[in-house]
Chains A and B, each alone.
Chain A
Amino acid sequence: MNPSLPTLNEPAARLKTTISQVRHFNDLPPEVQDAIVAAAAPRHFATGQVIYLEGEPAEFVYILERGWVKATRMSRDGREQAMLFLRPVEIFGDIAVFTSTTYPGTTTALEAVDTWVVPSTTLMKLVKKHPELALAVIRKLGERVLHYIELVEDLSLRSVEARLANTLLQFAEETDGRLVVPRRAWTTFDEMAVRLGTVRDVLSRTLKTLEAEGLLKVEKQGIVLCDTKRLAERGNM
């Protein structure tokens, strides 16, 4: 057999590796991982493509293997609020499946995204059959609850400036001895505003204020954090 050609087992092996990188799912017994692998199918989404819609029947749970995904919810006055930014490896779409409701938000591929989809009916059967999987799901959902508690606290108690400072510190990466929040193709002002629960103009003004005070510098390749101590203070950390 030509070794360069993919074998039938390659996708399954790839998915098993992917599952082993999901927090709480990595220590599932092999037979449970095999059952998930047997039920899953690959699905690709192009940049900007909707993965599922807010209010759409929850037919699948998704395992994110490659690319960033944004989950948003529309407020009654038409403002879009980011709920989650997901990066590999992560599971999403699970809340709606386990609560037998429609998806609570819309997820969009921010770049080319590869996922594995597991039908919700199959997953429910697996959860009932394997207590280890149920426990992993409970842990995962517990983490999600903690995330939303933080989001509520952020949106209700912190200013846009504090939310921005926190977000920048959270996503900064060390590059050539500098702390930089790298600019990805999709990190436009509009996307950042959605993420912070504000509008583009307010975000722009806030960035300019922090830049004028020497806390950060907006460059083409990203935002350089110049004074993390003062940024942390502004973030009420």
Chain B
Amino acid sequence: MNPITDESLHKKVLASLATDDRTATADLRVGVSNGFVHLAGTALSLDIRTAAADLAENIPGVRGVINRIDAPGAPRPARIINLNPEV
């Protein structure tokens, strides 16, 4: 079994965002460090912003998501931290 690395998580998050209809066309950026996914960029709605974080969070091995995606109505500074205590 391949170990879960930040690099492999990065690829999986990018693939997940690119293949989901809600996030495929959004201008999003991804960083992964120590199993934590950092999201930034711009989404047209809060729903898309939330969907991006959900997609990242559901990838096995992800320890948490720091959501800095800018969207209408998003908190400023646009930073929501969800830690996954099970990983």
Question: Bound complex: CA of A80 vs CA of B83, how far in Å?
Answer: 13
Closest A residue to B36 using CB positions: A74
Could you mark each residue 74-87 of chain B with 1 if its beta carbon is under 8 Å from any beta carbon of chain A, else 0? 00111101010000
Chain B residues, CB < 8 A from A53: 29-31, 38-40, 68
Please report the total number of B residues contacting A with Cβ < 8 Å.
25
**Contact A78/B83 with A50-B29, A54-B31, A55-B10 known, Cβ cut-off 8 Å:** yes
* Residue B32 CB within 8 A of the other chain: yes
How many A residues face the partner with a CB closer than 8 A? 20
Pick the contact of B34: A48, A49, A57, A76 (CB < 8 A): A76
Q: Is the CB–CB distance between A108 and B77 below 8 Å?
A: yes
Consensus secondary structure, chain B interface: strand
Task: Tell whether A56 is near chain B: CB-to-CB under 8 Å.
Answer: yes
Q: Measured between alpha carbons, how far is A217 from B6 in the docked complex, in Å?
A: 46
Q: Is the CB of B68 within 8 A of A74?
A: no
Q: Which residue of A lies closest to B29 (CB)?
A: A53
The residues of B with any CB-CB pair to A shorter than 8 Å are 6, 10, 29-34, 36-41, 63-64, 66, 68, 70, 76-79, 81, 83
Pick 16 A–B contacts, CB within 8 A, sort by A: A50-B29, A53-B39, A53-B68, A54-B33, A55-B38, A56-B29, A73-B33, A74-B66, A76-B34, A77-B83, A78-B83, A80-B79, A102-B6, A102-B31, A106-B31, A108-B77
